[in-house]
Amino acid sequence: MRMMSGKPTEKTLIARVDTMKVTRWHWQLVMLCMVGIAIENFDMTAIALAMPVIARSWELPPSMIGVLLSGSSLGLLIGASVFGTLSDSIGRKKTFILTTVVYSLFVGLSAFAQDFTQLYIARVLAGIGLGGFIPVASAYVSEFAPVKVRGRFMGIFTIGNGIGYCLAVIASMVLVSAMSEGWRWVFAIGAVGFLIIPAVIKLLPESVRWLMGKGRNEEALQVVEQVEQRALGQIIVPHEIALLEVKELSKQSSQASVKRSGGYSRIFSRELLRKSILAAILWFVSGYTFYGFIQWMPTFLTKEMGYTLTAGYTFTLLAAAVGTGTPGIACGFSSDYLGRRLTLTICMLAYAVSGFFFLWFGGWWILPLYWFSSAMTSQLYIYSPELFPTAVRGTGLGFASSIGRVAGFLAPIVIGYLVQDYGLAGVISVNGVLLTIGVLVVWVMGTETKGNAQTQAQSF
What is the per-residue pLDDT across 280-308, written as a single tens digit (0 to 9) for each? Answer: 999 999 888 876 676 677 667 776 666 66
Assign 455 a pLDDT band (cuts: 50, 70, 90). very low
The backbone torsions φ and ψ at residue 63, rounded to the nearest 5 degrees and listed phi first, read -65, -40
Distance CA 35, CA 420 (A): 38
User: Residue 251: its pLDDT value, please?
Assistant: 56
Residues in Cβ contact with 440 at an 8 Å cutoff, skipping those fewer than 6 apart: none
Assign 360 a pLDDT band (cuts: 50, 70, 90). confident
Find out whether 3 and 130 touch, Cβ atoms under 8 Å: no
Average pLDDT of the segment spanning 112-140? 84
Distance CA 130, CA 122 (A): 12
Distance CA 25, CA 28 (A): 5
Assign 74 a pLDDT band (cuts: 50, 70, 90). confident
Percentage of residues of the chain with pLDDT beyond 70: 84
Find out whether 340 and 449 touch, Cβ atoms under 8 Å: yes
pTM of the model: 0.69
Percentage of residues of the chain with pLDDT beyond 90: 8
User: Residue 309: its pLDDT value, please?
Assistant: 65
User: Residue 407: its pLDDT value, please?
Assistant: 83
Find out whether 347 and 375 touch, Cβ atoms under 8 Å: yes
Find out whether 124 and 72 touch, Cβ atoms under 8 Å: yes
Assign 5 a pLDDT band (cuts: 50, 70, 90). very low
Find out whether 144 and 26 touch, Cβ atoms under 8 Å: yes
Q: Which of 196, 200, 245, 203 is nearest to 220 (CA)?
A: 245
Residue 50 reports pLDDT greater than 70: yes
Assign 454 a pLDDT band (cuts: 50, 70, 90). very low
The backbone torsions φ and ψ at residue 9, rounded to the nearest 5 degrees and listed phi first, read -130, -175
User: Residue 252: its pLDDT value, please?
Assistant: 57
Distance CA 158, CA 84 (A): 18
Amino acid identity for residue 427 in this structure: V
Assign 332 a pLDDT band (cuts: 50, 70, 90). confident
Helix (H, G, I), strand (E, B) or coil at 263: helix
Distance CA 283, CA 344 (A): 12
Residue 12 reports pLDDT greater than 80: no
User: Residue 367: its pLDDT value, please?
Assistant: 82
Name the more confident of 6 and 60.
60
Distance CA 84, CA 273 (A): 17
For the chain, the average pLDDT equals 79
CB atoms within 10 A of CB 455: 11
User: Residue 306: its pLDDT value, please?
Assistant: 63
Per mean pLDDT, which range of 67-81, 174-188, 264-278 is the poorest?
67-81
Name the more confident of 418 and 244.
418
Average pLDDT of the segment spanning 415-432? 81
User: Residue 342: its pLDDT value, please?
Assistant: 92
For the packed helices 62-90 and 116-144, what is the interaxial angle rounded to 10 degrees? 40
User: Residue 200: its pLDDT value, please?
Assistant: 86
User: Residue 8: its pLDDT value, please?
Assistant: 42
- State the Cα torsion 376-380-381-382 to the nearest 10°: 100
Tell me the torsion sign for CA atoms 93, 94, 98, 104. positive
* 184-237 tens-digit pLDDT: 898 888 888 888 889 888 888 888 888 877 778 888 888 888 888 877 777 777
User: Residue 434: its pLDDT value, please?
Assistant: 93
Distance CA 206, CA 50 (A): 37
Residue 278 reports pLDDT greater than 90: yes
Assign 257 a pLDDT band (cuts: 50, 70, 90). very low
Distance CA 73, CA 68 (A): 10
